[in-house]
Amino acid sequence: MTDPAPLAVVTGASSGIGLELARQFAAAGFDLVVNAEDAELTAAAASLRETGVSVQEVRADLSSYDGVEQLWAAVQATGRPVAAAALNAGVGKGGAFLDNDLADELQLIRLNVDAVVHLAKRLLADMVARGAGRLLVTSSIASTMPGPYQAVYNASKSFVQSFVEALQSELRDSPVTLTSLMPGPTETEFFDRAGLRNTLLGRPALHDDPAQVAEQGFRALMEGKDKVVGGSLMTKAQAVVNALLPDTVKAAGHRLAAKPRDEPRD
């Protein structure tokens, strides 16, 4: 008898970085539990099955407590330990804070922040009890700067980055590893859904390839690294510069990049 394949869980797996992360796991021989809230998940899961691995799709909205519990129940129902997980589901929201709908902003927080904490609690408790496991959390280089015209999104990623770094310290004596993936602007559905196409930040020519970002994130996860800036050399250089610049300067730059083009320029 051969040992069963390791099991990986990937959220936000219907497209973009999440789907590419799932492909990385599949190529490495992991069976998969994949999650998203949209109908694209079915086609994504079908494409992943073509690699020969087992794929279970769980369509659930992680911006709700019940949605997270639905996913966790499906994972537990496999009866298999989770060897690795990628918490990638997230959403953005462009525009001026006072103009945006409050419900949209609060839903962003529930998905980008609440769901990460909720799933990390479930997954890490099990991994630490077993003494094995790897967790990847998609943060962003947006976590390193204030985000005018994307204020709640950047703040949510700052939370995520701080959260992961704190857990890394708490679990430093455990064999369980946590890795944060910090992409720059990446060409996915994110910019359409966030209403950011009408900005400099939303220009596809300036975006990285999600497959490249996912490959770098997966490699960092498997190597047990604390974090990786995913994407091109330009994105990596931006992260280095961000570490040196004062927040006021970074905020001014983000304001120019994220401000809608139909609004007056500063």
Q: Which residues are catalytic?
A: 153
- Rounded to an integer, what distance in angstroms lies between the CA atom of residue 8 and that of residue 214? 15
The two tokens of residue 229 are 């800036």
- Please report which residue ranges of the chain form alpha helices under DSSP H: 16-27, 40-49, 65-77, 102-109, 115-130, 151-170, 190-193, 210-222, 233-242, 247-258
Find all residues with CB under 8 Å of 78, minimum gap 6, and list them. Answer: 7, 33, 56
- Nearest Cα neighbor of 256 from 147, 134, 168 is 147
Find all residues with CB under 8 Å of 182, minimum gap 6, and list them. Answer: 139, 140, 141, 143, 144, 161, 227, 228, 229, 230, 239
Burial class (CB in 10 A: 0-12, 13-18, 19+), 10: buried
